[in-house]
Each structure stands twice: as C-alpha cells, then as structure tokens.
Amino acid sequence: VEADIRTGAAALFGSDTVGVYVPSTGSWFLRNDNSPGAADLVFGYGPPGIGWLPLKGDWDGNGTDTAGLYDPVNGNFFLRNTNTGGGADLVYGFGPSGLGWIPLVGDWNGDGVDTVGLYDPVNGNFFLRNAHAPGAADLVYGFGPAGLGWIPLSGDWDGSASDTIGLYDPVNGNFFLRNAHAAGGADLVYGFGPAGLGWNPLAGDWNGDGTDTIGLYDPANGFFFLKDMHAPGPADVVFGYGPANSMPILGDWNGL
C-alpha cells in the first residue's frame, strides 16, 4: 500500500481494483473501479496457452501495480513495469522448478517494493525473497497444515505497511492470516463465502484504508465478492467483470 499526498483519511492509501487474465490468449483486462463495466487497460503480455501464472506487484516502487508472469516449468519470473505489451523489465529464476510450488508477491520488508516468493504445498513452507535477483530466500518458515490443498495468499492484514502471508481452506471456506514472518498460529481466522465450489481466494485493499482484506472470485460466473473487514458475513461489494473462467488479478493499476 502506497502513501498519497492527497488530503483526507480515505485518500491516504491507494485502493486495489479488479482485473482478469485470459491464459489462452495472454490478454490482460484491468479495471480502475470495483464495478462492472469495460476494462480501462487492455494489453497482451507473455506467451499464450503454455501455463504461465499471472502476478501483479509494484516492482519498481512507483505506487502502481503492473503485470508479471511465473513459468512453473523453469522457475522463472517475468515482471513488467508498465501495463502494456512488450518485453519483461525483470527476468530471473527463484526456487526449484517443476515441483508445483505456488508463486506469491508482497512487500515482505516494508521498503515500498514488491518482490516474489514461493509456497511449497507438500511441506507447507514459504520461501520469500527481498530482492529482484536469483539467490536464496530471505525468509523461510512453515505455516499451516501441509498437503491439504490449502491456497496461499499475501497481504498487509494489520496496516503495518509490510505484507505477510495467509492460507485459504477451499473445503471449509476458512481464511487463516498471519501478521508475522514466523511459524505460529494464525492471527486472524474466519470463514467467508461458500465452501467447496472452486472459488479463488483474493486479497487487496478494496476501500483504501491501508489494510488488505480478502475476497473470492467465482470463475464459473465471473463474479467478484469483496470483503472490507476481517470478519465473517456477506460481501461488501459484489459484481461481475470479464469473461467467465478467466484468472483474477487484483491491484492498484492507476496509483490512486
């Protein structure tokens, strides 16, 4: 979450809005508002149809999130500093390839720049890197049960200006969020939305208050369900956006 020079509490932080990535065509459709409507940014980035995974982050610390891709076969990250077609601005390998590890993005050390990480679902360990370069992980720890198909996510859950990790249990619909980069119990645990339907967990600062909360994406119908507080209950924002069966991608696309 980036600081903003505008006055008023609601304007101190940028807000995250929706987007979708269509892997069959390598197309990105990003929207600057959490509502239905046309995309504000449309571009192609990366090779289509080969299983690369979409990412977003503020790779250069300018206050705006831009696109990235992770190649799980070779373990390489391809990060772009503008939301336009073109070549990657940053390319590097991190971690082992071909093992089904899941990529993550966050500002792990609070320096204003997002970097990458990996989650090993077999052993339940997180491997987080603080620099855009190959090398060993700067942070390594286990969190949550391993081997159960829980899905990792990251966010600034407590408004501390640094991101930490979490897990989503798709079978029971519960979120388990941690406020420290260390093994231990979850600091926040709650259920949200229906369980067992294959919905995708999301994280972002939907209302610009400086704290990331969670959401869900229904890929079958293309609907987003966003929650503004860490508590069970109905979604605060619900809308459809983009073609169904896309991959959701959430970020602050305009730095506002």
The yes-or-no verdict on residue 7 having pLDDT over 90 is no
- Maximal C-alpha separation, the chain: 48
Residue with tokens 């200006």: 161
On the question of pLDDT at 1 being above 60, the answer is no
With a cut of 70, say whether residue 127 has pLDDT above it: yes
- Report, as an integer, the average pLDDT of 213-240: 98
Give the residue-averaged pLDDT of 118-140.
98
pLDDT at 142: 98
* Neighbouring C-alpha atoms within 13 Å toward the C-beta of 186: 17
Give, in order, the Cα–Cα distances in Å from 72 to each of 32, 75, 178: 29, 5, 26
- Nearest of 29, 31, 26 to residue 15 by alpha carbon: 31
d(CA 211, CA 229): 9
**SS3 for 230?**
coil
pLDDT at 6: 26
Residue with tokens 């999130």: 65
Q: Is the dihedral of CA 149, 163, 33, 80 positive or negative?
A: negative
Range 120-126 contact pairs with CB under 8 angstroms and sequence separation of 24 or more:
120/146, 121/146, 121/147, 121/149, 121/150, 121/152, 122/146, 122/147, 123/147, 126/152, 126/165
3-state class (DSSP) for residue 134: coil
Collapsed DSSP state (helix, strand, coil) of residue 10: helix
pLDDT at 10 over 90: no
18 Cβ contact partners less than 8 Å away, ≥ 6 residues apart: 30, 31, 34, 224, 241, 242, 248, 249, 250
3-class SS string, 147-165: CCCCEEEEECCCCCCCCEE
- Residue 128 clears pLDDT 70, i.e. is over it: yes
Structure confidence at residue 8 (pLDDT): 34
Q: Is the confidence at residue 182, as pLDDT, over 70?
A: yes
Which helix (H) or strand (E) segment is 98 a member of?
A: none
Phi/psi at 150 (5° precision): -70, 150
> What is the reported pTM?
0.94
The tokens of 30 are what? 């990003």
Give the confidence band of 12 by pLDDT, cuts at 50, 70, 90.
Answer: low
Confidence of residue 178 (pLDDT cuts 50, 70, 90): very high
Q: Are 106 and 115 a contacting pair, CB within 8 Å?
A: yes
Identify the pLDDT of residue 13: 75
Is pLDDT above 70 for 11? no
